A = this chain, B = another copy of it.
Amino acid sequence: MFYTPGFSEKKSLLNKEESHHCINVMRFSKSSIVYVTNGRGDLYKAEIEEPDPSGCRLKIIEKQSGFGKRDYNLTIGICPTKNPGRFEFFIEKSTEIGIDNIIPLICSSSERKKINPERIERIITSAMKQSLKAYRPILEKVQDLKEALKDDFEGQKFIASESVDPEMNLGSLCKPGENVFVLIGAEGGFSEREMEQAAGSGFIPVSLGDYRLRTETAGIVACHTVHLVNNLER
């Protein structure tokens, strides 16, 4: 699967990077059939017309709109981990499982306040292609918790906390078919004051289970919990 933002019936040209990958690396040639997405839900089946490694022109054979569309939208606000590899692992896994918006969050216990957006965008693209998705998760800019709380999100809002009774878990409280926003803190968790601020903005404190999880594990577990809630017959 290839990805080119803005790819459409009117502009059926792979971008430079993907043209190189398609022609020089994967060795596709004229008349080969390939799949392309624009990351906005459109999946194209197309034939290579001009195998130019710096701008490969395609002829569209078939278009599927809303490919793999879910009936919920998932936003996760999560603190980057001290070890960047762990945060990147969350990015890759949540993209594979299914997520729409990722907000790198800064809270009082944050040990890392910066990310490498280019590197993370590359991981998102690679995981999207690997897991054959036509919707590309959006990486938002790094935000303070306060800023994230002001987000005019419509749907269910949760904040993960270790001090919540395990019975009040995300899996039991999350309703299927509705948008979900989950906040996940750094290793030290959110402070009491932060929990109060979040509650004031309508975020419900939830447990992610009766175990202590690393930040990136909490993110993956939250993402998969919302997925399962929406896919289990209950």
Residues of A participating in the B interface, judged by any CB pair closer than 8 Å: 68, 89, 93, 96-98, 130-133, 166, 169, 171-172, 209-214, 217, 220-221, 224-225, 227-228, 231-234
Contacts and interface: CB of A to CB of B under 8 A. Distances in A.
B211 A172 contact: no
Contacts of A97: 209, 211, 213, 217, 221
Contacts of A171: 228, 231-232
23 contacts: A68-B210, A93-B217, A96-B212, A96-B214, A97-B213, A131-B211, A131-B212, A131-B213, A131-B214, A132-B211, A132-B212, A166-B231, A171-B231, A171-B232, A172-B232, A209-B227, A224-B224, A224-B225, A224-B228, A228-B228, A232-B232, A232-B234, A234-B234
A227 B93 CA distance: 18
A89 B85 CA distance: 11
Nearest to A93: B217
A85 to B, nearest CB: 9
B133 A211 contact: yes
Contacts of A225: 224, 228
Number of copies: 2
Contacts of A232: 169, 171-172, 232, 234
A-B CB proximity, top 3 nearest: A171-B232, A131-B212, A96-B217
Contacts of A68: 210-211
Given A132-B211, A169-B231, 16 more contacts: A89-B89, A96-B211, A96-B214, A97-B213, A97-B221, A131-B213, A131-B214, A169-B232, A171-B231, A210-B231, A220-B220, A221-B224, A224-B224, A225-B228, A232-B232, A232-B234
A218 B211 CA distance: 21
A166 B230 CA distance: 13
A98 B211 contact: yes
A234 B225 CA distance: 14
A227 B209 CA distance: 9
B231 A209 contact: yes
A52 to B, nearest CB: 29
A135 B97 CA distance: 28
A63 to B, nearest CB: 20
